[in-house]
A and B are shown apart, each in its own frame.
Chain A
């Protein structure tokens, strides 16, 4: 690659940037295309016109102001969960507990939001901090078991998800339930809510916080010492250990950070969208975060684009279901075909050669 720099006849910066960014986009784009082709075949088999279905998905998510707002609303929680999963995966840890951490984060935000009455400038930040603490707490046990006893964090996270779901469900249906027919906590105080941008959709300051967080972690990853150390851990934990990195301490730190970020997704939902903690409010944003992180290739800036794509698919899916009768589970099929395709690391000769050649 450095040879290119010296011999490049055109613009001094355009070529290197194109050469650095484009090869990285090849795999995600190929995966998305494979998913859409397979999904199209499936739709065709079910007797629908795939072109019409995809046109409806596009129209329902990106054409017209209300649809765009709905896309941004669907994108907001995915920013947090996608970032949470990608941060942990980059350090070699699989935090599949984002779903549970999000529920606990949402619960903490909801409880603090209605129980602690604070003046306006303090209320919302306090709730956000509570959500981060809740999420981090839920990630603490898997992190501790991993670094102390080498217990797979994935498996513990997998078990922590239903524990969070049942626990929050119990609290919202019994001891903390608000009076009335729905299973929810009492509404949060008005001061604790996140500001809505529009009356048409529940797009709120949470979206901005998510974008800022992604930008911040892009800088942390590339420009700070822990950022580099997490990357080294992810590449080879043993090498990282022998080169003097305190692997266990860094592992606990990134799991707690990841949990806190996932907790913020719950806060965004509770403080921004629902204004109260509702029992099982999440349709699986934590698991979608895994898909976002994979499509983003664990890059925080990539998370923004991946969350936007999946947010668009989710909001387009609602329109699709209404207009054509194709179930919006099609979106889930597309999403996880993408994950499956991206999980492959084939040892085909041309693929390895290409990876070798396009390494930045």
Chain B
């Protein structure tokens, strides 16, 4: 097995997960569990590739994809914040609506069965970093990636900085930790929540574009393959803190890369490796839950409500 190829695959598999995880982490910090990450990504992936095929312009494709994901996020935010819909039920509805809508449009707008792979489609050009390229081992990994890969990795410090070093981030975390106190302090809770949801749409939009125009050059039915769920697993694992979430994502990304590369070498079934993120998430949820109960409030154990 080639370590270089493995790491390269890990970087590429982690990129969409990173986008989705950063989007999800923002809403998580604002006290909203966004389970529609997959829905946002699939819509962006579809409109990205459809626009690229129709116009031949990469910039327009990215804009169309991100705008479509943000519109979907606005729909979810409207239902949750304006119409008092349960975020989980509305989120599930939005996700499956997106799967259905992209499947329908794939067939009846683009006229394709299952997969849309346009022959001539603009691609992102790899960016070569002049000095970094020279580094012996890491150089070929760090240099020569597309702009979306760099954007995904840069989004982690940006999200961390905006959450922990800006006035806006303080408000987001306050809305998440104590909505009533935030309200009393004059913060517009609904507006902050809506902002994080729209940003979530933006990040997932970029993740979707990467899937259909960076990682691959096609759109396939349900191509997100539950990446949104893995991102959610990472968010739970790290309780929504950006750097730890990113670390979890990279771990899961390496795991996926192993699942792709290992069957050539050993006999471990790829299905069992793909299980790891979900098992890790369940274990983390259990451990965090147990610690909450033991640590803070001994009488919390009877409490039925979710923290």
Contacts and interface: CB of A to CB of B under 8 A. Distances in A.
Contact of B93 (A151, A340, A347): A340
A150 to B, nearest CB: 5
A340 B94 contact: yes
Contacts of A340: 79, 85, 90, 93-94, 97
Contacts of B86: 343
A343 B90 contact: yes
A345 B289 CA distance: 30
A46 B109 contact: yes
Contacts of A46: 104-105, 108-109
Given A155-B33, A332-B99, A340-B79, A96 B274 contact: no
A237 B83 CA distance: 23
Interface in B255-307: 269, 271-272, 274-275, 278-279, 281-282, 285-286, 288-290, 292-293, 300-307
B242 interface: no
A162 B293 contact: no
B134 interface: no
A78 to B, nearest CB: 14
A333 B304 contact: no
A90 to B, nearest CB: 14
A241 interface: yes
B124 interface: no
Secondary structure at the B interface, as helix, strand, loop or mixed, is helix
Contacts of A96: 88, 92
A156 B88 CA distance: 13
A258 to B, nearest CB: 16
Interface in A231-262: 233, 237-238, 241, 247-248, 251
Given A166-B271, A327-B108, A339-B92, A150 B305 contact: yes
B89 A290 contact: yes
A34 interface: no
Contact of A166 (B89, B108, B275): B275
A158 B103 contact: no
B83 A344 contact: yes
Interface stretch (A19-27, A62-70, A112-120, A167-175): A167-175
A329 B84 contact: no
Nearest to B283: A159
Contacts of B82: 346
Given A155-B33, A159-B278, A330-B100, 9 more contacts: A48-B108, A94-B88, A150-B289, A150-B307, A151-B306, A158-B229, A173-B271, A284-B96, A343-B86
14 contacts: A148-B290, A148-B293, A149-B293, A152-B306, A159-B229, A159-B281, A163-B282, A166-B272, A166-B278, A170-B272, A173-B271, A336-B100, A337-B97, A344-B84
Interface of A: 42, 46-48, 94, 96, 141, 145-152, 154-156, 158-160, 162-163, 166-167, 169-170, 173-174, 233, 237-238, 241, 247-248, 251, 284, 287, 290, 294, 325-327, 329-333, 335-337, 339-340, 343-347
